Structure 1
């Protein structure tokens, strides 16, 4: 009887060892799957950020064209018939939009998007309330130059996000 018990014990030990090896292999596969899932999640997040930064770049280009109607190159004849209140409203919406996406522009304690929003607020009011050509042009130029100065930061971040997604 002891021979059967010995064989059963040996077979049981082999089965336990086999089960442990199988569990170890499956745990490795699960770890690899978790790592792949985390990698895919990170890539999805980076692609979403790229889309958002691209939208900010596109909106910045668009709003520069809108502001240029009252910007540095405008004159009295070009300004005739231009509704500065509508332009001010577009700039206000742009300011809200970039503030919403400002988390992408944080570099240590400096945030260029939030800075631009804060700088635009008084100019939006001035443009909206401007009556004379000089007031309209002055407010328009200030807004134009501030947004134009922000453009390189948007472009740089957009390029970095594109490169980051391309290397993943």
Structure 2
């Protein structure tokens, strides 16, 4: 009887060891799968950021073209028939758009997108309320130069995001 109990104990111990090895192997597979899932999630997030930053770049280029109607190269004859109120409205929508995506432009304590939004507020109001050619041109130039100086940051960030994904 004692030998049967010994054999049962040995078989039970071997089964426990085999179960522990099997559990360890399965845990390792699960860990690898979780790591792969985390990597895929990170890649998806980075690609979404690339798309958003690229969209900001496209919108910045577009709004520069819109503002150029009242920007540095406009003259009195070119300004005839231009609706400054609608241009101001488009700049206001652009400002709201970049503010929404401003988290991509944070570098330490400096956020170029938020800075631009704050700088544009008075210019949007003055362009919307401008009556004379000089007022319209002054507001338009100010908006144009501020957005144009923001463009290198958008381009640099867009390039960095694309390069980071390409190297991963």
Q: Which residue of 2 aligns with 1:67?
A: 67
**Counterparts of 2:9 and 2:129 in 1: how far apart (Å)?**
93
2:7 paired residue number: 7
What is the RMSD of the two structures over their aligned residues, measured on CA atoms?
0.8
Point out where structure 2 has 5 or more consecutive residues left out of the alignment.
none
Name the CA distance, whole Å, in 2 between partners of 1:16 and 1:100.
57
Measured in 2, the distance between the counterparts of 1:9 and 1:121 equals 81
User: Which aligned segments of 4 or more residues in structure 1 are displaced greater than 2 angstroms?
Assistant: none
Query: 5+ residue gaps in structure 1?
Result: none
Q: Secondary structure at the match of 1:82?
A: coil
Give the Cα separation in 2 of the matches to 1:8 and 1:125. Answer: 88
2:52 maps to 52
Superposed CA offset, 1:51-72 (max 9, x none)? 1111111100000000000001
How high is the TM-score relative to the length of structure 1? 0.98
| Distance in 2 between residues matched to 1:166 and 1:35, nearest whole Å | 20
User: What are the superposed Cα offsets for residues 114-166 of structure 1, whole Å, 9 maximum, x if unpaired?
Assistant: 00000000001111111111111111000000000000000001111111122
